[in-house]
């Protein structure tokens, strides 16, 4: 048929409402809206008063049986929560709109206006709005009660230890933890001798933290639990769980003498190696052959050897002469050049050593370097004795020293700073330890400046107090290695939102 068929326009007539007689358009009920409303109340049988529980400490509302939902007054979450409490009622009608009516904040009443639709009387759909009043009763939630009762109550604790004399690892770990927010659930962090203790309210948080540690450092852990209380009727038991995590004592820049079995298993790696990187693997570099090997956490703990000399025993050397012997090698991302060097200890210029070093790429005559004095050291290492006929080099250089240049910059603030965890310190230690800690922290910061790969995993923040001074631009020769400004994160102004956990530390 043709599409332009003549269609008679249909206008709706008006009918009289069967109750009140006013003229209206016909609808399925044939009653005007007012009469229909007076006839039928679709909100009949729906609750108009509901009681809800509110925790005044953490401003959250109870959704039975157990969940507490945190919500602000007149927020979307609170509206969703209120509507959810009426779920059974709202199954009978269709909800079209819900909104809050303002009530005084301290009145402990919430009013929500709901618009609902329902089908009545042969197919007519009626829409009606009504107000539901929620009475807020104060009731502390379980976690707040527990905290109030005993603020130090913990359920699981992680005892992190490293049996070395310095705290460099813990400074680095602290930054890593902050970056990954791994200690977000810790209710208390305590600094102990040779380690840190973390306390958690939940066993699963502790397990998650232990796994995080296992991913970033070579650790060995064991766990245990202690019965606190027992409900015989319920057959439920309350335990305190303890996880003991030990980090391997091998640190960066340590000199290690590998036990013979490990050396052979790694392909006859020269028994003296330097540790170049520690994550969950340990990277060992033979300075004389420039071979690098990785030791797995498992492999390490199977042999669990200790280092021969640590960074505390580093001695300053003056370099008089350098002769490059080999071309530049790229070993695991860093470049090394083997060179013969003529060095003498700064403390004793009388004795010259001719040694082979792997730092040929950065050392020049007149530089200072830090290294291990094997000539003067008295090592009582068992492993060393196992090697019969091993000739020890007289010195092994580890890194270049910027001590002189640092003298110039002493006292000036750095352009960057780090955040720190909120730790409780054991006060009984005394003054000497505090000074030691400060100097160690200073060394750690220097370490960060010198090594870009160390900085890679951490967040550094811009220091607003730093003013670049005129003097710096005048310095000649090679500059002190410093952190380029692009790497710095603009310090977030989170002063209101920051919990007590993080604090700025210069």
Partner 1 sequence: MATRLQFENSCEVGVFSKLTNAYCLVAIGGSENFYSAFESELVDVIPVVKTSIAGTRIIGRLCAGNKNGLLVPHTTTDQELQHLRNSLPDQVVVQRIEEKLSALGNCIACNDHVALTHTDLDRETEEIIADVLGVEVFRQTIAGNILVGSYCAFSNRGGLVHPHTSIEDLDELSTLLQVPLVAGTINRGSEVIAAGMTVNDWTAFCGSDTTATELSVIESVFKLREAQPSAIVDEMRKSLIDSYV
Alpha-carbon span 138 to 153, nearest angstrom: 24
Contacts of 5 (CB under 8 A, 6+ apart): none
Q: Does 274 bind partner 1 (CB under 8 A)?
A: no
Toward partner 1, which CB reaches closer, 10 or 497? Answer: 10
DSSP secondary structure code for residue 27 in this structure: -
Place of tokens 């206006």: 113
- The beta strands (E) that lie in 289-365 are given as 291-295, 314-324, 329-331, 334-336, 339-345, 348-357
Q: Which of 1, 5, 6, 26 binds partner 1 (CB under 8 A)?
A: 26
Toward partner 1, which CB reaches closer, 18 or 492? Answer: 18
DSSP codes joined into one string, 426-471: -GGG-HHHHHHHHHHHHHHHHHHHH-HHHHTTS--EE-TT----HH
Toward partner 1, which CB reaches closer, 31 or 71? Answer: 31
Footprint on residues 106-135 left by partner 1 (CB under 8 A): 121-122
Tokens of 28: 């399925």
Q: Does 20 bind partner 1 (CB under 8 A)?
A: yes
Alpha-carbon span 272 to 257, nearest angstrom: 5
C-beta of 30: minimal distance to partner 1 in Å?
4
Q: Does 423 bind partner 1 (CB under 8 A)?
A: no
Footprint on residues 145-174 left by partner 1 (CB under 8 A): none
DSSP secondary structure code for residue 181 in this structure: T
Q: Which of 3, 4, 5, 13 binds partner 1 (CB under 8 A)?
A: 13
Toward partner 1, which CB reaches closer, 9 or 411? Answer: 9
Q: Does 37 bind partner 1 (CB under 8 A)?
A: no
DSSP codes joined into one string, 252-293: TT-EEE--HHHHHHTTS--SEEEEEEESSSEEEEETTTTEEE
Toward partner 1, which CB reaches closer, 8 or 432? Answer: 8
Query: What end-to-end distance do the CA atoms of the chain give, in Å?
Result: 87
Toward partner 1, which CB reaches closer, 5 or 474? Answer: 5
Characterise 169 by phi-psi region: left (phi > 0), alpha (psi -120 to 50), beta (else). alpha
Toward partner 1, which CB reaches closer, 39 or 478? Answer: 39
Q: Which of 3, 4, 12, 456 binds partner 1 (CB under 8 A)?
A: 12
Q: Which of 2, 5, 16, 333 binds partner 1 (CB under 8 A)?
A: 16
Place of tokens 């009608």: 93
CA of 36: how far to CAs of 17, 18, 133, 350, in Å? 10, 10, 26, 112
Toward partner 1, which CB reaches closer, 12 or 388? Answer: 12
C-beta of 118: minimal distance to partner 1 in Å?
17
C-beta of 145: minimal distance to partner 1 in Å?
59
- The beta strands (E) that lie in 58-145 are given as 60-63, 67-70, 94-101, 109-120, 124-138
C-beta of 57: minimal distance to partner 1 in Å?
57
Q: Which of 3, 4, 5, 11 binds partner 1 (CB under 8 A)?
A: 11
Which of the ranges 23-31, 145-153, 279-287, 460-468 carries the binding residues for partner 1, by CB under 8 A?
23-31
Alpha-carbon span 103 to 447, nearest angstrom: 59
Toward partner 1, which CB reaches closer, 19 or 240? Answer: 19
Which of the ranges 19-27, 52-60, 240-248, 445-453 carries the binding residues for partner 1, by CB under 8 A?
19-27
Cα dihedral value 366, 370, 376, 377, nearest 10: -170
- The count of chain residues that interact with partner 1, using the rule CB under 8 A, is 19
Contacts of 147 (CB under 8 A, 6+ apart): 153
Q: Which of 2, 3, 9, 473 binds partner 1 (CB under 8 A)?
A: 9
Which of the ranges 22-30, 49-57, 366-374, 399-407 carries the binding residues for partner 1, by CB under 8 A?
22-30
C-beta of 109: minimal distance to partner 1 in Å?
40
C-beta of 43: minimal distance to partner 1 in Å?
22
C-beta of 33: minimal distance to partner 1 in Å?
13
Alpha-carbon span 269 to 263, nearest angstrom: 5
CB atoms within 10 A of CB 488: 17
Toward partner 1, which CB reaches closer, 46 or 121? Answer: 121
Cα dihedral value 262, 264, 267, 273, nearest 10: 50
Toward partner 1, which CB reaches closer, 12 or 66? Answer: 12
Q: Which of 10, 378, 380, 495 binds partner 1 (CB under 8 A)?
A: 10
Which of the ranges 16-24, 93-101, 146-154, 224-232 carries the binding residues for partner 1, by CB under 8 A?
16-24
Q: Which of 31, 62, 369, 396 binds partner 1 (CB under 8 A)?
A: 31
Q: Does 8 bind partner 1 (CB under 8 A)?
A: yes
Toward partner 1, which CB reaches closer, 30 or 242? Answer: 30
C-beta of 1: minimal distance to partner 1 in Å?
19
Say if CB 294 and CB 262 are below 8 A apart: no
- Residues near partner 1 (CB under 8 A): 8-13, 15-21, 26, 29-31, 121-122
């Amino acid at each position: 048929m043709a599409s332009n068929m003549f269609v008679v326009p249909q206008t709706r007539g008006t009918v009289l409402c069967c109750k009140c007689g006013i003229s209206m358009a016909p609808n399925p009920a044939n009653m005007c809206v007012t009469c229909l409303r007076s006839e039928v109340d679709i909100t009949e049988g729906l609750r108009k008063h509901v009681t809800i529980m509110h925790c005044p400490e953490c401003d959250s509302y109870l959704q039975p049986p157990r969940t507490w939902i945190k919500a602000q007054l007149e927020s979307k979450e609170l509206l969703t929560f209120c509507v959810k409490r009426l779920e059974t009622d709202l199954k009978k009608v269709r909800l079209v709109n819900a909104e809050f009516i303002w009530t005084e904040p301290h009145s402990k009443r919430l009013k929500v206006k709901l618009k609902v639709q329902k089908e009545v009387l042969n197919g007519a759909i009626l829409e009606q709005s009504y107000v539901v009043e929620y009475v807020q009763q104060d009731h502390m939630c379980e976690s707040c009660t527990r905290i109030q009762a005993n603020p130090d109550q913990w359920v699981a604790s992680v005892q992190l230890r490293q049996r070395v004399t310095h705290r460099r690892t813990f400074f680095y770990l602290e930054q890593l933890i902050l970056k990954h927010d791994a200690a977000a659930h810790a209710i208390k962090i305590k600094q102990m001798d040779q380690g840190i203790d973390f306390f958690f309210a939940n066993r699963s948080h502790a397990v998650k933290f232990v796994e995080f540690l296992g991913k970033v450092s070579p650790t060995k852990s064991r766990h245990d639990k202690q019965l606190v209380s027992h409900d015989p009727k319920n057959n439920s038991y309350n335990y305190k769980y303890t996880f003991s995590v030990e980090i391997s004592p091998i640190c960066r820049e340590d000199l290690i003498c590998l036990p013979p079995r490990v050396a052979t298993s790694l392909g006859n790696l020269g028994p003296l190696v330097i540790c170049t990187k520690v994550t969950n693997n340990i990277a060992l570099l033979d300075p004389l052959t420039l071979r690098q090997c990785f030791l797995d956490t498992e492999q390490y703990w199977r042999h669990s050897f200790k280092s021969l000399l640590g960074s505390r025993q580093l001695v300053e050397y003056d370099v008089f002469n350098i002769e490059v012997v080999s071309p530049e090698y790229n070993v695991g991302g860093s470049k090394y050049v083997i060179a013969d060097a003529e060095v003498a200890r700064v403390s004793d210029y009388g004795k010259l050593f001719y040694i082979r070093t792997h730092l040929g790429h950065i050392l020049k005559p007149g530089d200072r370097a830090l290294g291990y004095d094997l000539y003067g050291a008295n090592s009582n290492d068992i492993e060393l004795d196992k090697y019969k006929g091993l000739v020890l080099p007289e010195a092994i250089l580890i890194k270049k020293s910027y001590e002189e240049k640092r003298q110039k910059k002493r006292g000036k603030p750095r352009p960057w700073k780090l955040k720190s965890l909120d730790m409780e310190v054991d006060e009984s230690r005394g003054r000497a330890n505090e000074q030691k800690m400060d100097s160690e922290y200073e060394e750690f910061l220097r370490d960060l400046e010198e090594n870009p790969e160390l900085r890679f995993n951490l967040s550094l923040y811009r220091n607003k107090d730093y003013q670049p001074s005129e003097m710096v631009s005048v310095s000649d020769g090679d500059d002190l290695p410093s952190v380029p400004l692009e790497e710095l994160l603009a310090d977030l102004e989170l002063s209101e939102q920051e919990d007590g956990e993080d604090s700025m530390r210069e």
